[in-house]
Copies of this chain bind each other. A is one copy, B any other.
């Protein structure tokens, strides 16, 4: 199994970062504005993405762990075949003025081109999370950074 890994440091408390990871409003402000469903433990969150006003798909994730200021873990239950069954985690720790986010999207079966794409997109969305928590304004889809012909 293959994993996508990232690390960002956010000038904020881990409590503030956790809020952006564990609530629907938080997630909608850095990943995709079209975030629906239930972000509580055991709930299913529905993330949908649009390009030029047209919905192009998304992911449903089940919330497996919620540890305030420490950890959020989801499992993907609907979405592109490569994503189904994979797990997405955010581990938080404080280092001085920075809240460190260790990100993992675990359980990819093959290093397909789509995995390369998702790795780069995750980096840009984690920088959107950083921007949201530090400045109050992230860059969620559909206003996210275009990195290629796959958007």
A41-78: which have CB < 8 Å to B? none
Q: A120-B126, A123-B120, A124-B123 are in contact. Are A150 and B9 (CB under 8 A)?
A: yes
B residues within 8 A CB of A6? 116, 119-120, 123
B residues within 8 A CB of A81? none
Q: Which single residue of chain B is at the shortest CB-CB distance from A103?
A: B116
Interface residues on A, range: 20 to 34
Of B5, B119, B120, which one neighbours A115 at CB under 8 angstroms?
Answer: B5
Contact B98 A149 (CB under 8 A): yes
Contact with B along A107-120 (1 / 0, CB 8 A): 00001010111011
A1-58: which have CB < 8 Å to B? 2-9
Contact with B along A139-151 (1 / 0, CB 8 A): 0000001011110
Is the C-beta of A84 less than 8 angstroms from some C-beta in chain B? no
- Once the chains are docked, how many angstroms separate the CA of A4 from the CA of B103? 13
Contact with B along A81-119 (1 / 0, CB 8 A): 000000000000001111010110000000101011101
B residues within 8 A CB of A103? 116
Q: Which single residue of chain B is at the shortest CB-CB distance from A130?
A: B147
B residues within 8 A CB of A102? 113, 116
* 18 contacts across the A-B interface (CB closer than 8 A): A5-B115, A5-B119, A6-B119, A7-B116, A7-B119, A8-B148, A9-B147, A95-B149, A96-B149, A97-B149, A98-B148, A98-B149, A100-B149, A102-B113, A119-B123, A120-B127, A127-B145, A130-B147
